Amino acid sequence: MAEAAERIDDPRFVLQTRDLTRQFDGFFALRKVNFRLARDSVHAVIGPNGAGKTTLFNLLTKHLAPSEGAILHDGEDVTRLKMPAMAKRGVVRSFQISAVFAGLTVQENVEVALLRGSGLAWNLLGRISKQSGVAERAAALLRRFGLAEHAETMAGNLSYGRKRVLELATTLALEPKVLLLDEPMAGLGREDIGRVTALIQQARRGRTVLLVEHNMNVVAELADRITVMVRGEIAAEGSYAEVAANPAVITAYTGRAHG
């Protein structure tokens, strides 16, 4: 499997794409996209419906294979690597809520994630968690994420917003270097959005975060840099103020030319 890795030494960028393209039956969902994710930044990908955001995300997270182009991680060509290999390299997407085990307690869910992160079979959960300090580490994570008082609650009984927090806690238990989040605020009310935003602010320390997000208040608050996708291509990039003032972006969102 070991292929000669192409090194592109620009250490500022943890992930880069080269002419990344994905077609579906001749339709270009993504066309020759050159995307760069700066190390230790929070970077948001936005754009109108059908712009190709999810396609880009799924290519970076290895849920989809590209039609053409390349993906580089730490300067190495990882285009052909599968999801587990990316996870080993520290590039992890948040699990979907469906991956939270409803029949386990909140504490047990985090313990499972910690064991998974250390490559141990989770059917040994009971025995190992007592022996290896996993229970203490899980409890510490729950305290950090404000879930301590729910430690013994069955995950299935948590509110939707708390499930999202738990989902993030189980992802962060893997200590990813690059955290990829697909619409982390989707379906959340205002209070939970505040909670998850604070959690991402905390989680960003020492790592890189990429999020696809529709909520512009959240994007404005969290993102150092924003990529605006339109019809499968990058239409603009920059800070929130820069992209918000960009005529191409205004046109894409309003359907009208600006000015």
Ligand X SMILES: Nc1ncnc2c1ncn2[C@@H]1O[C@H](COP(=O)(O)OP(=O)(O)OP(=O)(O)O)[C@@H](O)[C@H]1O
Nearer to ligand X by C-beta: 55 or 94?
55
Instruction: Provide the minimum distance between the beta carbon of 39 and ligand X in the complex, in angstroms, as a whole number.
Output: 25
Nearer to ligand X by C-beta: 156 or 187?
187
Instruction: Provide the minimum distance between the beta carbon of 161 and ligand X in the complex, in angstroms, as a whole number.
Output: 21
Binding site for ligand X (CB under 6 A): 24, 29, 47, 49-55
Instruction: Provide the minimum distance between the beta carbon of 52 and ligand X in the complex, in angstroms, as a whole number.
Output: 4
Nearer to ligand X by C-beta: 100 or 212?
212
Nearer to ligand X by C-beta: 24 or 160?
24
Instruction: Provide the minimum distance between the beta carbon of 182 and ligand X in the complex, in angstroms, as a whole number.
Output: 9
DSSP string, the chain: --PPPPP---TTEEEEEEEEEEEETTEEEEEEE--EEETT-EEEEE-STTSSHHHHHHHHTTSS--SEEEEEETTEE-TT--HHHHHHTTEEEPPPGGGS-TTSBHHHHHHHHHHHHTT--GGGHHHHHHHSSHHHHHHHHHHHTT-GGGTTSBGGGS-HHHHHHHHHHHHHTT--SEEEEESTTTT--HHHHHHHHHHHHHHTTTSEEEEE---HHHHHHH-SEEEEEETTEEEEEE-HHHHHT-HHHHHHHHSS---
Instruction: Provide the minimum distance between the beta carbon of 16 and ligand X in the complex, in angstroms, as a whole number.
Output: 19
